[in-house]
Amino acid sequence: MTTRQHCVSRDATDPFRHHRDRFVLPEGLIYLDGNSLGALPRNVAGRVATTVAAEWGNALITSWNVHDWFDLPGRIGDRLARLVGAPAGTVIACDTISVNLFKLLGAALKLRPGRTTILSDTGNFPTDLYMVQGLVDFLGDGHRLRLAEPEDVVAAIDEDVAVLLLTEIDYRTARRHDMKTVTEKAHAKGALVIWDLAHSAGALPVGLTAANADFAVGCTYKYLNGGPGAPAFLFVRKDLQEEIRSPLSGWWGHASPFAFDLDYRPAAGITRQQCGTQAILAMAALDSALDVWEDVDLAALHRKAMELAQLFIERVESFGSSHGIRLAGPRQLEHRGSHVSFHCPQGYAVMQALIADGVIGDFRAPDMIRFGLTPLYLGYADIWDAAARLERIMAEQRWNRAEWLTRKAVT
Ligand SMILES: *Cc1c(COP(=O)(O)O)cnc(C)c1O
């Protein structure tokens, strides 16, 4: 794809070329931030309107039964399970990644009494580390968080590690941990592993069962397009489900919530990982957003994502080095997820200029411009055009405007 015309031809035969019609996207915009907030699937608004008007409005509280609101987190969990390579009954949609991490980490530590270390890496998303720090402080019993560089984290697993907590795809550099190998190494030392799939689910095939993973968390507002603040999910391998309890033992995780017993008894299976009443309107939006994925072959999706990444990296590198722009993360595509970041001097201002020019990506401190490549609604020509607009902005120094040199709250 050495010319724009090649990209246009490639788009014409792309098996995903009709998927874009399943999304609402403003005309002319190139949206490269679906790894942060996925685009709006076309069928979501109708489903949410029905849930509001017909279910909440008309059926009122009977909807918990007649419209199966109460089982929605589990039903959505089963749909998500297919996307992360796990069997039905091992995933549930609920809460946020941060909260789900607290629940699983608290439960997992109980399975490894005597071990004091929670191991993670310096590339992890800060909320994951903050949640560990909060739990360790709360427990006050000698547990500690230890961090290694991502390349060294496997070698750092020793017999004191109770839990290894890693994000499969680095949120900044897209560097990918080998889930199967790392899990095996951790198990060999007697440690449990919690995988964070925030930048994996909906981006590439995830094999939780194939990797014999213990626990996982993930969110649905990124590649899965569930909407701003959409419910997250968690996974617990079948044989561990009855062995653990959630430290957030709310009534939705009780064996018989409507018996109103005074004592907590955990529900069977994955259900015990629920805490309290879930946001049903958000669940309805997520449930309909997942319709988009029913016929998606994740291996083919990932192949296209890698082609888009290859094209984008090539195009940006064709002019980038003279402006100090440099690829972040590994060069080999099989060691990457499907977003692409570049170190870029004045990256924040550059991204603001790009957004003003109709290409939305984002900025991640300290110096990275980041682009999510979502094959369901992006074509090859989009990628070509985005790189061309970045080239023009750099050549003309269009980023150099006072109002772009100070950062807004969300970058
Ligand atoms: C986006 C993201 C989160 C977000 O956590 P929430 O609690 O759902 O806001 C967590 N971890 C990683 C790796 C992320 O990329």
> Does residue 65 surpass a pLDDT of 90?
yes
Nearest-CA residue for ligand 1 atom 14 is 198
Sorting pLDDT into bands at 50, 70 and 90, what band is 183?
very high
Sorting pLDDT into bands at 50, 70 and 90, what band is 2?
confident
Sorting pLDDT into bands at 50, 70 and 90, what band is 409?
confident
| pLDDT, average across residues 168-195 | 98
* Residue 222 annotated in active site: yes
| pLDDT, average across residues 200-229 | 98
Q: Indicate which residue of 237, 370, 380, 398 is catalytic.
A: 370
Q: Is there an atom of ligand 1 within 6 Å of 167 CB? A: yes
**pLDDT, averaged across the chain:** 97
Which ligand 1 atom minimizes the distance to the CA of 99?
7
Which ligand 1 atom minimizes the distance to the CA of 36?
1
Q: How far is the CA of 231 from the centre of ligand 1 (A)?
A: 11
| pLDDT, average across residues 85-97 | 98
Please, is 290 exposed, middle or buried when counting C-beta atoms within 10 Å of its C-beta (0-12, 13-18, 19+)? buried
Q: Is there an atom of ligand 1 within 6 Å of 97 CB? A: yes
> Does residue 379 surpass a pLDDT of 80?
yes
Q: How far is the CA of 198 from the centre of ligand 1 (A)?
A: 6
Q: Which residue in 263, 348, 354 sits closest to 254, CA to CA?
A: 263
> Does residue 11 surpass a pLDDT of 70?
yes
| pLDDT, average across residues 49-72 | 97
CA–CA gap between residue 376 and residue 259 (Å, rounded) = 45
Q: What is the pLDDT of residues 158-172, one digit of tens each?
A: 999 999 999 999 999
Task: Supply the pLDDT for residue 214.
Answer: 98
* Residue 370 annotated in active site: yes
Best residue among 171, 223, 368, 370 to mutate for probing ligand 1, ranked by most atoms within 8 Å of CB: 171
Q: Indicate which residue of 33, 121, 170, 196 is catalytic.
A: 196
On the CB side of 394, CA atoms within 13 Å amount to 20
Task: Supply the pLDDT for residue 1.
Answer: 67
* Residue 215 annotated in active site: no
Task: Supply the pLDDT for residue 133.
Answer: 98
| pLDDT, average across residues 343-371 | 96
Which ligand 1 atom minimizes the distance to the CA of 232?
8
Sequence-distant (6+) residues with CB within 8 A of 247 are 102, 103, 106, 107
Task: Supply the pLDDT for residue 244.
Answer: 97
| pLDDT, average across residues 239-255 | 98
Please, is 27 exposed, middle or buried when counting C-beta atoms within 10 Å of its C-beta (0-12, 13-18, 19+)? exposed
Q: Is there an atom of ligand 1 within 6 Å of 171 CB? A: yes
- Say if CB 308 and CB 373 are below 8 A apart: yes
* Ranges assigned E (strand) in 271-338: 326-327
Task: Supply the pLDDT for residue 96.
Answer: 98
Q: Is there an atom of ligand 1 within 6 Å of 125 CB? A: yes
Best residue among 100, 105, 121, 125 to mutate for probing ligand 1, ranked by most atoms within 8 Å of CB: 125
| pLDDT, average across residues 59-70 | 97
> Does residue 308 surpass a pLDDT of 90?
yes
Q: Is there an atom of ligand 1 within 6 Å of 128 CB? A: yes
Show the CA angle centred on residue 351, arms to residues 341 and 177, nearest 5°: 15
Q: How far is the CA of 358 from the centre of ligand 1 (A)?
A: 26
Which ligand 1 atom minimizes the distance to the CA of 101?
7
> Does residue 260 surpass a pLDDT of 90?
yes
> Does residue 192 surpass a pLDDT of 90?
yes
Nearest-CA residue for ligand 1 atom 1 is 198
Backbone angles phi, psi at 267, to 5 degrees: -65, 165
Q: Is there an atom of ligand 1 within 6 Å of 196 CB? A: yes
Q: How far is the CA of 98 from the centre of ligand 1 (A)?
A: 7
Q: What are the C-alpha distances in Å from 135 to residues 101, 139, 148, 220, 233?
A: 10, 6, 19, 24, 20
Nearest-CA residue for ligand 1 atom 4 is 97
Task: Supply the pLDDT for residue 39.
Answer: 98
Residue 372: how many other CB atoms lie within 10 Å: 27
Task: Supply the pLDDT for residue 88.
Answer: 98
Which of 142-146, 165-169, 195-199, 406-410 is the least confident region? 406-410
Q: What is the pLDDT of residues 119-145, one digit of tens each?
A: 999 999 999 999 999 999 999 999 999
Q: Which amino acid is at 7?
A: C
Task: Supply the pLDDT for residue 35.
Answer: 96
Q: Indicate which residue of 23, 215, 221, 371 is catalytic.
A: 221
Which ligand 1 atom minimizes the distance to the CA of 222?
1
pTM above 0.75, yes or no: yes
